[in-house]
Structure 1
Amino acid sequence: MSRLSRLLTVVLLGSVALATPASAHGNTSAAPPIPAWLLFLSAGGAVAVTAVVVSRMDAVPTAVDDVLVSVPARAGEAVRWVARTVFLVGFLAAIYTGLTGPQTPKEFATVFVWPVWFKGLLVVSAVVGSPWRSLSPWETLYDLLARLEGEDPSLLAYPAGLGTWPAAFGFLVLIGFAENLSAVPTSPRLTAVTIALYATVMLVGGVVWGRDWFANADPLAAFYRLVGRVAPLSIRRGEGASGADEADGADTGDFQIVQTSPWKACSEALPDRGAAALAVAAVYTVSFDGLEATPEYQGLNVWAAETVGLGVYASLLLYVVGFFAFLGVFWLVVRLAAALGEGDVRRATLAFGATLLPIAVGYDLAHNYPYVLRSLLAFVEVTTQQPVVATPLAIVPPQAIWGTEVLLVVVGHVAAVLAAHTVSLRVFGSLDLARRGHAPVVVLMLGYTVLSLWVFSRPVVSTVG
C-alpha cells in the first residue's frame, strides 16, 4: 500500500468514525444525535484533506487493473443468455400482470420494475459494470428481428450531432419525473404502460437508426454505462474488450473479472456534452430524491403550490429549476477551472463531467441500497406468494446502516477528487496550472459533500416512490 493509500484510509476511517451516529435519510425521522456541523466537518474534511494531498502529486494516482477470475466462454455465454431470457420474461410478466392484475401498490409490476430493475441494476452496475446491453428486453427483441432479417434492421444512420442528448432527456423524464415525481411507481397499470411505451420508443428507434440508437438514446443504457465507470470490478471478454457493455460484441474469448480503480475510468473524458448533462442529472436527481423528503423542501413545495398557485405542478417546476441550477453551477465552475488552468472549456467540460460520477454513484448507493434490499424481499413475497418472516436489515443496528451510508458518500467524493486531479494534470498540463484549475472543482465537490450529508441529517417527513 502506497503512502497516499495509507493516508486516505486513515482519513476515511476517521471521518466515518465521527460521522457514524448521524441520521440517514430513509432510516429514521429523528434528528441526528450529534451536531450537524460535526458531521459536515468530519466528512467534508476527508474530501478537503484528500484534495490537499493529491495537489502535491505531479503524477496521476496509481490505478489497479488486475484479472481476478477467468470464466470459460461457453459457461459465460450460457449465464448471459439465461439472464437475458429471465429478464425478458420478467419484463413481459410486468406488463401483463400490471394491466390485468390487482391494482395495489405492492404487486409484481411495481416491485419488479422500480426497485429490483431500475435500482437493483444500478447497484450491480456500481459493482461489476453495466450488464444492461445483455439484459435489455428491447435489444433482445431487436436481436430476434436481426436473426429473422439476416442483418441488423436499420433504415437511417444515427445523427452524429444528437450524441447522447436523447438519453439525457429520457433520464430526466423516466427517472426524474416518472419515478420520483409521479404516482406511476405505486400503480401497476401505469407502471406497465410506462415500460411498454419505453420499449416501443426504443424498438422503433432501433429499427430506424440501428444499434447506435440503443447506445445513445436509451436512458438506462447510458446511465448504467456511466455508473459502471465507478465499479471496482468489471467484466471483460477477450483481448481488448473493456467492460460488461462490450460483452455483446464479436469477441469469443473467455470472460474475465477484473479489479479496477474507481477513479481510472472516471478520469477519462465523456463522449459528448449530452453525457456530461446526464452526469449532472444523475447527481442532481438522487439529491432531489432525498431533498424532497426534508421539512425544508416540503415547506417550499407547499408555498409554491398554494401561495404562487402552481398546485400539483409545484414539484415538477422545482425539479426543473433545480436541475438547471445544478447544470449552470457546473458549467460556471468548469469555465472558471478552464480559465485558471488555461485550458479548453469544451475539453474541460467533458473531462470534469466524468469526475462527477463517483459522487452520483456513492450517494445513489447510500440513498437506495436499504430500499433495494427490502424490495428484494418484497419481490420474493409477490413472486412466491409466501411471506418472508425475517429481513436482513432487521438484525443490522441502525448505526451500522448509517455508517455504511456515510462511508459510501465520503468514498464517492474522495474518488471524485482523485479523478479530478488526474483530469487536471491531463487537461492543463503543468502541476501549477493543474492546481489552479483543480481548485474550483474541489470547492464544488465539497459543496456536494455538505449538501448530501445535510440531506442525510434531516428528519424524513415523507417517502416518495
Structure 2
Amino acid sequence: MTPTGFTVLAHGVGGSTDLPVPLSFALIGAAWALTATFAVVALAWKKPRFDPGKAGRDLPAWVTRVVDSPVLRWAAALAALAFAVWVMVAAVWGPSGSANALPGVFYVLLWVGLVAVSVVVGPVWRLLSPLRTLYGLSGLRRRESPPSSVRDYPNAWGYWPAAVGLFAFVWLELASPDPGSLTAIKTWLLVYAAVMLVGAWIFGSRWFARADPFEVYGMTVSRLAPFRRSSSSRRVQVVNPLDHLPSLPVRPGTVAVLAVLLGSTAFDSFSQAPVFRNFVDEHAASIPLIDEAWGAALLRSVGLFFFALVVGLTFWAAARATGGVDATLRRELPGRLAHSLIPIVVGYIFAHYLSYLVERGQETLVRLADPLGRGWHLLGVDADDVQYVLSQHPSVLWSIKVSCVVIGHIVAVIAAHDRALHLLPRRHQITGQLAMMLTMVGYTFAGLYLLFGG
C-alpha cells in the first residue's frame, strides 16, 4: 500500500483491475456490429447526408463573445500553466515512486481526460497547452508578422511529427522498461518541451498545430464534438457530429496518427494476455548485448510497432481497394476516409481506459491535494473519498466496454458509407465499400476479442 492507501501496480499508473469481458458479452456485441455493418451498406440511404460544409445552428452571440474573450482565454491558459507548475513541483519535491501525482496526471488526466473533454467541447489543448502559453508570453509570436520572419512549415511533413510524438508517448507507457519511473516521465516531458519550443521558434505557432502530439490528438478526436466554428461568421455553432467528422484535415501523416492511437490501444490489451507475457519472459534474457529488462522492452516495442503498422496498412489497403475510381482519387482515398477511424479510436479508448479515468483519476486528484506528501487535504480531498464504482459493478463496466466498441464501430461504418457515396460512382457505391466494411468488422472483432482477454 502507498502512503495514500492505494495499491499501485505496473502500467505507469497501475494495472487494469477490470475483469475480462465475458464471452457472451463479446459475442453479442460482435453479432450486433456485424448485423449493423451490412444493414448500413445494403439498406441505408443511397444519397450522402453528411457534409462538413452544412450550416449548424448558431448559439447566441454572447456565447461566442465569452469564448473569444481575451480575458477568459488568458485566464484559462494561465490557470493551466499554473496547474502544470503545481504538477512539476509534485514531481520534483513530492514523494517518490507510485505515491507521486505525476504518473496519474501524465497517463490518466492528460492522455484519457483529453479525449473526454475534446469529444464534448472541442480541441481545448490549443488553449490550455502550457507550451503555447509560454510561447505567447515570450513575445516570439510577434515574429510571425510579417510571415517572412518565420520559416514555412514543410507541407510534406504534415502530421508526421505528431505521429512520432504519439508513438513516443505510447512507447513510454506500454513498452519501456519502467513506465512508472518519475525519471523516465520527467525526461520525456523535458524532451517534449524542448522539441516543441525549438520547433515553434523556427516555424512559428503552426508547429504546435502540426507537431504537438497532444494538440493533434485532441484536434482529431474533437471531430466528434457537437460544437464548432462557423466558417463564415466564426460564431460558435451546435452541429451534427457526423457533419463535423469529415472536416478532419487531410495531410501527410493523418492515417499514421490514427494508426498509432488505435494500434497502441489494441496492443495494450494484447500485452496483458498470458501468452504474450510468457513469451516476453522466456525470450527477454536471450537477446544479446542488452540486459533482461531492456530485452523485454525491445520485444514489447516490436509488438507495439507491429500493431500500429497492421492498423495503418490494413486501412490503407482497404481504402486503396475501393472500386470504380480513377488512379488520382485512389491515392487520395486513405486520407479522405481516415476520419471514419475516429469513432473506433474513441470507442476503444473509452472501452479500455474508462475505469482508469474514473478511478485512477480520483486517486490522482487526491495526490495532487497533497503534492509534497505531507498529509495535506487541500479542498477537503481525502483518500477515503475515492469511489471505485465501476470496479464494484463489473456487469455495468462490461456493458459499457462492449457498447463503446460497438457504437464506435457503427458510427464509423455510417461515416465511411456516407463519404463513399460522395466519392464513388453510383454503380460502385455498394461493391466499392466491401473491402473497407470487412476491415472495420475485423477491427471490431479484434477489439472485442482483446477486451475478452485474448
1:68-105: CA deviation from partner (whole Å, max 9, x where unpaired): 56544554334433321121112223333323332212
1:88 aligns with 2:48: no
Which residue number in structure 2 is paired with residue 65 of structure 1? 56
Q: Distance in 1 between matches of 2:158 and 2:130?
A: 22
1:280 aligns with 2:259: yes
Structure 1 residue 290, shift from structure 2 partner: 1.9
Q: Distance in 1 between matches of 2:231 and 2:297?
A: 52
Structure 1 residue 332, shift from structure 2 partner: 1.6
1:403 aligns with 2:396: no
Correspondences of 1:131-170 after superposition (within 5 Å): 131-146=124-139, 155-170=150-165
1:141-180: CA deviation from partner (whole Å, max 9, x where unpaired): 1111227957669542212221211111111112x21122
Preserved CA contact (<8 Å) 2:25 2:398 = no
Correspondences of 1:137-286 after superposition (within 5 Å): 137-146=130-139, 155-174=150-169, 176-182=170-176, 185-231=179-225, 233-236=226-229, 239-241=232-234, 256=236, 258-268=237-247, 270-286=249-265
SS in 1 for 2:175: coil
Preserved CA contact (<8 Å) 2:350 2:404 = yes
Structure 1 residue 199, shift from structure 2 partner: 1.1
The amino acid of 1:320's aligned partner reads F
Moved more, 150-159 or 355-364: 150-159
Q: Which runs of 5+ in 1 are unaligned?
A: 1-24, 242-252, 460-465
Which residue number in structure 2 is paired with residue 101 of structure 1? 94
Structure 1 residue 283, shift from structure 2 partner: 1.5
SS in 2 for 1:389: helix
Correspondences of 1:115-126 after superposition (within 5 Å): 115-126=108-119
SS in 1 for 2:224: coil
Moved more, 346-355 or 41-50: 41-50
1:329 aligns with 2:329: no
Which residue number in structure 1 is paired with residue 348 of structure 2? 363
1:113 aligns with 2:102: no
1:29 aligns with 2:35: no
Q: Distance in 2 between matches of 1:215 and 1:115?
A: 22
1:375 aligns with 2:360: yes
Preserved CA contact (<8 Å) 1:110 1:186 = yes
The amino acid of 1:144's aligned partner reads L
Preserved CA contact (<8 Å) 1:47 1:410 = no
TM-score by length of 1: 0.81
1:428 aligns with 2:424: yes
Q: 2:269 aligns with which of 248, 272, 290?
A: 290
Q: Distance in 2 between matches of 1:289 and 1:30?
A: 13
Preserved CA contact (<8 Å) 1:266 1:358 = no
Q: Distance in 2 between matches of 1:312 and 1:118?
A: 21
Preserved CA contact (<8 Å) 2:174 2:300 = no
Q: 2:338 aligns with which of 347, 353, 362?
A: 353
SS in 1 for 2:229: strand
Q: Distance in 1 between matches of 2:340 and 2:318?
A: 13
Structure 1 residue 314, shift from structure 2 partner: 0.6
Return closer, same or farther for 1:388/1:46 CA change in 2, 3 Å cut-off.
Answer: farther
Moved more, 101-110 or 447-456: 101-110
Moved more, 258-267 or 103-112: 258-267
Return closer, same or farther for 1:100/1:391 CA change in 2, 3 Å cut-off.
Answer: closer
Q: Distance in 2 between matches of 1:230 and 1:33?
A: 30
1:357-415: CA deviation from partner (whole Å, max 9, x where unpaired): 11111111221122111133112211223323244442763222222222221111111
Preserved CA contact (<8 Å) 2:159 2:253 = yes
Return closer, same or farther for 1:273/1:285 CA change in 2, 3 Å cut-off.
Answer: same
TM-score by length of 2: 0.82
Return closer, same or farther for 1:266/1:150 CA change in 2, 3 Å cut-off.
Answer: closer
1:301-338: CA deviation from partner (whole Å, max 9, x where unpaired): 3455357775431101111122222222222212211x
Q: Distance in 1 between matches of 2:388 and 2:404?
A: 17
The amino acid of 2:99's aligned partner reads K
SS in 1 for 2:250: coil
1:45-88: CA deviation from partner (whole Å, max 9, x where unpaired): 3333333333x523335889334565445543344333211211
Moved more, 165-174 or 258-267: 258-267
Structure 1 residue 212, shift from structure 2 partner: 1.5
| Backbone CA RMSD of aligned residues | 2.9
Percent identity of the aligned residues?
24
Structure 1 residue 417, shift from structure 2 partner: 0.8
Q: 1:45 aligns with which of 29, 35, 41?
A: 35
Q: Distance in 2 between matches of 1:316 and 1:239?
A: 46
SS in 2 for 1:266: helix
Preserved CA contact (<8 Å) 2:23 2:452 = no
The amino acid of 1:52's aligned partner reads A
1:315 aligns with 2:300: yes
The amino acid of 1:187's aligned partner reads S
Moved more, 92-101 or 127-136: 92-101
1:394 aligns with 2:389: yes
Preserved CA contact (<8 Å) 2:166 2:257 = yes
Q: Distance in 2 between matches of 1:177 and 1:407?
A: 28
Which residue number in structure 1 is paired with residue 436 of structure 2? 441
Structure 1 residue 237, shift from structure 2 partner: 7.5
The amino acid of 1:260's aligned partner reads V
Return closer, same or farther for 1:43/1:285 CA change in 2, 3 Å cut-off.
Answer: same
Preserved CA contact (<8 Å) 2:280 2:296 = no
Q: Distance in 1 between matches of 2:177 and 2:79?
A: 27
The amino acid of 1:167's aligned partner reads A
